[in-house]
Amino acid sequence: MTDATETRTPDSRPTGGLSAQYQPGEVEQRRYERWVSEGYFTADPKSDKPAFSIVIPPPNVTGSLHVGHALDHTIQDTLARLKRMRGYEVLWLPGMDHAGIATQNVVERQLASQQLSRHDLGREKFVEKVWEWKAQSGGAILGQMRRLGDSVDWSRERFTMDEGLSRAVQTIFKRLYDDGLIYRANRIINWCPRCLTALSDIEVEHTDDEGELVSIRYGEGENAIVVATTRAETMLGDTAVAVHPDDERYKHLIGTEVELPLTGRRIPIVADEHVDPSFGTGAVKVTPAHDPNDFEIGQRHNLPSITMMDERAVVTVHGPFEGLDRYEARPAIVAALREEGRIVAEKRPYIHSVGHCSRCKTTVEPRLSLQWFVNTGPLAQAAGDAVRDGRVTIEPAELSKRYFAWVDNMHDWCISRQLWWGHRIPVWYGPDGEVVCVGPDEEPPVGFTQDEDVLDTWFSSGLWPFSTMGWPDRTPELEKFYPTSVLVTGYDILFFWVARMMMFGLYAMDGKQPFDVVNLHGMVRDGHGKKMSKSFGNVVDPLDWIERYGADATRFTLARGANPGSDVPISEEWCQGSRNFCNKLWNATRFAMMNGATVEGPLPAPSELSAIDKWILSRLQHVIGEVDQYFETYEYAKICDTLYHFAWDDVCDWYLELSKPVLAEGGETTKRVLGHVLDQLLRLLHPVIPFVTEELWIALTGGETVTLAAWPVADRALIDDAAEEELAALQKVVTEVRRFRSDQGLKPSQRVSAALTGLGNVGIDTHEPLIRSLARLDRPAGDFTATATLAVSGAITVDLDTRGAIDVAAERARLEKDRAAAEKEAAQCRAKLGNESFIGKAPEQVVAKIKDRLATAEADLTRIAAALSALPTA
């Protein structure tokens, strides 16, 4: 198809100041600064417009914009911009999380470079140092959000350590404490021996690591029992061996004692239904102070808990291993057991799941520790009920099962962290053991000492939907914008952050949910469906793409891959295609303006419209309806795909081409229709690609900003089935002729004589001049001889005289080569789709892509066979 936008008309015609080429760098910053300065994104809680609100999942103050952020923010911005255009008062509230562990690590590394530690400074000075770092270096991501085009209300930017949010944290802690929902106890927690703090579940990353599995014999003779472990060093803290009560192999040992090797201690053999008789030997060592399951067994059987290593994972048990690091102690203990003949079997390597600190990658130790916990039982019940009774909708609905699996089986939440940066726990201890929880408007008792720990970062971010709007005060923002309308986030933190916000929101806001809809998207992957990893070399830096291709191209690439709940594949090639799409819009709008397209006055009456004008207006109404429907179901990929094909195919490749003769003759009706279609198209595209649409819309319409322009509404009176059928028939003829020309190797500019018959059968005989112009077909001359015939649906026949236009032998060889390539491609795709192992493991989008490749290859084979049969015999 010839690019309609390639046609050049005199430069003296108006283009609204549009340059010959779109340069994102010359547009984006200028447009964004104007949006902010004009207050387009500032929400008014006193407005009588219906409310729409989103609170941004707060990025870490240490972070920078990565591709996951870029996807998340693109989706949120698309929704916010859509709702503004639909007449809502929109609050998209920005902010950052103080990221306790990550931020403290950053500042501690800076101190270490000066041979200092935080203890050299002391707590107060260290916290001051962190605030200094935050002022100087933190929050780089906020500027990067501007580059992406985030239409957030910067006047309401919040930080989880702000005075107001700190007051909210202290308030809810006090309420939970007074209601008996916060308590302090010795429990097993995740512990980082490097960061020296407890960790939440989300701060632990599990990977399949290589280790060893050793089977150790406890006891002697008939009373011996064998246990298997990947952490031999923890045997120093064993206080029992457990077996299943119905396991016939060990029934005679239940209630007896066995000597723990290397220690001389005797420990009981207990019966517990937690033990799986089919796993390993069916007997497990019980170390209550260093394993969560063992802790529960210990509680049920009243076993002692022996802490056998300190907070740095160094062995503390008196004996030959005392003072050894856990990784030094492990081989030493195995060697000692081997020397005593206690090692029954060794499996190496043994691949098993190991938890690591998400910040420093150190292997996490389960550790018995005195910590603060939230009793999540009643809170989790309320969070589950809010989804079950429809107050909160999870999109896509199938992910609700994951949500229930989490909240219905939630463990109590360890909320204390052994850090200095964060919200300090508002509990004070008296000289005689008194414990007082101090509220935000209370003074601690004289002579009391505050708890040293701070709260888990997720505790404060769990308050985000309402603390950012001024809670515990009853503010106009809360009155107008709470509950928030939608939460957009990745499915990977559904359990951790979403559930916490649900629990706290329902508790603090008298049963009002924190958001009406949870819109979950997947993880960004590369074009082959692989997880992005530095080790794979496939990580995408969205800032690099913004620099090279523009923010709109980056956004469009991400949104076009975003199907509800599914992972999002992207590639640089697709981003280049998105840039080309933006350029296509630019060139099409510039061409239209140079040819007199206008938005002034009403649309002409249907009686004044040509079939071509009726067709494009009818197509526009369908597209508006489809886009509206896809927004209702959060199907961003379908939104983008629909608009892409309407813009590129219907508007640029067909309507502009078909309209050229009319525009050349000064057709005022077509100028008005063209202006209207582009005006509506730019509005429809604006939420996803805001910068280029803003620049083009203002140039085309002379309006103030498309940001506040009304969202298009489909007009059913403009739907014209007859015009659509008529143009579909015209397109079919032109497309078939062009495909034939391409298959025969004819140059686009080369004209061929042809006879057209049957156009009247489908009512397109009046379009014959257009068909000949678009397909490069001359009328038959006196020596016309048909060497090829195309049968087009609808009883239309195209006879072509290709004599002298085609090197038959060369063309036959080319087509045979193409057929061999298509057959090879089809065979490879069929082999993959027939491989059950591949189908079972490959991501859904990868399988779908291979199916598409197979369909394309099969269509190519059909086309090539037709082309070969159409070649002249001589």
pLDDT at 2 over 50: no
> If pLDDT is split at 50, 70 and 90, which confidence band does 4 have?
very low
Cα separation, 149 vs 145, whole angstroms: 6
Average pLDDT rounded to a whole number, residues 749-754: 90
Instruction: Give bridge partners of residue 432 from the DSSP assignment.
Output: none
Q: What is the CATH number of the domain that holds 602?
A: 1.10.730.10
734 inside domain: no
127 touches 420 (CB < 8 A): yes
Task: Phi first, then psi: give them for residue 370, nearest 5 degrees.
Answer: -80, 110
Torsion of CA 132, 137, 141, 142, to 10 degrees: 60
Task: Kindly report, residue by residue over 348-357, the tens digit of the pLDDT.
Answer: 899 999 999 9
694 touches 674 (CB < 8 A): no
Give the SS3 label for residue 489: strand
pLDDT at 158 over 90: yes
pLDDT at 6 over 80: no
738 inside domain: no
739 inside domain: no
E strand or H helix at 517: strand 515-521
Q: Which of 61-70, 478-487, 738-747 has the lowest mean pLDDT?
A: 738-747
751 touches 778 (CB < 8 A): yes
pLDDT at 522: 86
For 445-478, give the secondary structure using H, E and C: CCCCEECCCEECHHHHHCCHHHHCCCCCCCCHHH
Cα separation, 68 vs 687, whole angstroms: 19
pLDDT at 779 over 80: yes
Cα separation, 246 vs 266, whole angstroms: 24
Co-location of 624 and 694 in the same domain: yes
Cα separation, 150 vs 138, whole angstroms: 19
Question: Any known ligand binding at 534?
Answer: yes
Structurally, the chain folds into a number of domains equal to 4
Helices H, strands E: what count in the chain?
28, 29
pLDDT at 741 over 60: yes
> DSSP letters along 712-764, please?
P---GGG--HHHHHHHHHHHHHHHHHHHHHHHTT--TT--EEEEEE-GGGGT-
Nearest alpha carbon to residue 712 among 677, 680, 682, 688: 680
Q: Which of 1-15, 110-124, 232-246, 633-647 has the lowest mean pLDDT?
A: 1-15
Cα separation, 201 vs 212, whole angstroms: 25
pLDDT at 570 over 90: no
Co-location of 104 and 175 in the same domain: yes
Q: What is the mean pLDDT of the chain?
A: 92
Co-location of 326 and 395 in the same domain: no
Cα separation, 169 vs 163, whole angstroms: 10
0.95 exceeded by pTM: no
pLDDT at 14: 64
Co-location of 448 and 570 in the same domain: no
Compute the radius of gyration of the chain from its Cα atoms: 35
240 touches 301 (CB < 8 A): yes
pLDDT at 535: 63
Cα separation, 103 vs 195, whole angstroms: 12
> DSSP letters along 233-295, please?
GGGGG--EEEE-TT-TTTTTTTT-EEEPTTT--EEEEEE-TTS-TTSTTSEEEE-TTS-HHHH
Chain Cα centroid distance, residue 421: 29
745 inside domain: no
Angle between helices 690-701 and 24-37 (to 10 degrees): 80
pLDDT at 8 over 70: no
Chain Cα centroid distance, residue 393: 18
858 inside domain: yes
Length of the chain as a residue count:
874
pLDDT at 848: 86
User: If you ran DSSP here, which 8-state letter would residue 654 be given?
Assistant: I
Task: Kindly report, residue by residue over 272-283, the tens digit of the pLDDT.
Answer: 999 999 888 999
Co-location of 237 and 312 in the same domain: yes
Cα separation, 415 vs 459, whole angstroms: 7
Give the SS3 label for residue 480: helix
E strand or H helix at 809: helix 808-833
Give the SS3 label for residue 800: strand
Average pLDDT rounded to a whole number, residues 694-705: 97
Give the SS3 label for residue 571: coil
231 inside domain: yes
Co-location of 205 and 298 in the same domain: yes
pLDDT at 166: 97
Cα separation, 406 vs 383, whole angstroms: 11
pLDDT at 794: 66
Residue 305: exposed, middle, or buried by beta-carbon count in 10 A (0-12, 13-18, 19+)? Answer: middle
Average pLDDT rounded to a whole number, residues 281-307: 95
Co-location of 403 and 321 in the same domain: no
Taking every pair of Cα atoms in the chain, the longest distance, rounded to a whole number of angstroms, is: 116
Co-location of 434 and 578 in the same domain: no
Query: Tokens standing for 18?
Result: 């549009």
32 inside domain: no
Cis peptide upstream of residue 349 (ω within 30 degrees of 0): yes
Cα separation, 566 vs 334, whole angstroms: 46
Query: Tokens standing for 319?
Result: 């004996």
Cα separation, 357 vs 359, whole angstroms: 5
Task: Kindly report, residue by residue over 825-856, the tens digit of the pLDDT.
Answer: 999 999 989 988 888 888 887 888 889 899 98
Query: Tokens standing for 659?
Result: 């309209």
> If pLDDT is split at 50, 70 and 90, which confidence band does 433 have?
very high
Task: Among 719, 741, 759, identify where a domain stops.
Answer: 719
* Amino acid residing at 731: Q
For 342-365, give the secondary structure using H, E and C: CEEEEEEEEEEEEEEECCCCCECE
Chain Cα centroid distance, residue 545: 17
> If pLDDT is split at 50, 70 and 90, which confidence band does 808 have?
confident
Cα separation, 109 vs 112, whole angstroms: 5
Q: What is the CATH number of the domain that holds 294?
A: 3.90.740.10
- Dihedral sign for Cα atoms in the order 821, 823, 829, 834: negative
* Amino acid residing at 91: L
pLDDT at 490: 87
Co-location of 303 and 333 in the same domain: yes
Percent of all residues in the chain with a pLDDT value above 70, rounded to a whole number: 97
Co-location of 575 and 699 in the same domain: yes
E strand or H helix at 842: none
Range of the domain at 801: 751-870
More confident residue, 845 or 450: 450
pLDDT at 423 over 90: yes
Instruction: Give bridge partners of residue 270 from the DSSP assignment.
Output: 242
Nearest alpha carbon to residue 138 among 242, 61, 59: 61
Task: Kindly report, residue by residue over 179-188, the tens digit of the pLDDT.
Answer: 999 999 999 9
For 750-766, give the secondary structure using H, E and C: CCEEEEEECHHHHCCHH
Q: Which of 11-20, 172-181, 519-528, 566-575 has the lowest mean pLDDT?
A: 11-20
Instruction: Give bridge partners of residue 342 from the DSSP assignment.
Output: none
User: If you ran DSSP here, which 8-state letter would residue 412 be given?
Assistant: P
The residue assigned the tokens 């077509």 is: 670
Co-location of 274 and 336 in the same domain: yes
Cα separation, 192 vs 200, whole angstroms: 11
Q: What is the CATH number of the domain that holds 412?
A: 3.40.50.620
Task: Kindly report, residue by residue over 612-646, the tens digit of the pLDDT.
Answer: 999 999 999 999 999 999 999 999 999 999 999 99
pLDDT at 608 over 50: yes
867 touches 743 (CB < 8 A): yes
Residue 161: exposed, middle, or buried by beta-carbon count in 10 A (0-12, 13-18, 19+)? Answer: buried
Cα separation, 22 vs 20, whole angstroms: 7
Average pLDDT rounded to a whole number, residues 192-200: 90
Task: Among 365, 388, 420, identify where a domain stops.
Answer: 365
> DSSP letters along 103-124, please?
HHHHHHHHHHTTT--HHHH-HH
Which ranges constitute the DSSP H helices of 472-571? 476-481, 499-508, 542-549, 551-560
Co-location of 671 and 814 in the same domain: no
752 touches 805 (CB < 8 A): yes
Average pLDDT rounded to a whole number, residues 659-687: 96
Mean pLDDT is highest, among 2-11, 393-402, 787-796, for 393-402
Q: What is the CATH number of the domain that holds 838?
A: 1.10.287.380
Percent of all residues in the chain with a pLDDT value above 90, rounded to a whole number: 78
Query: Tokens standing for 446?
Result: 């004289």
pLDDT at 11: 41
Task: Among 339, 365, 391, identify where a domain stops.
Answer: 365
443 inside domain: yes
pLDDT at 874: 56
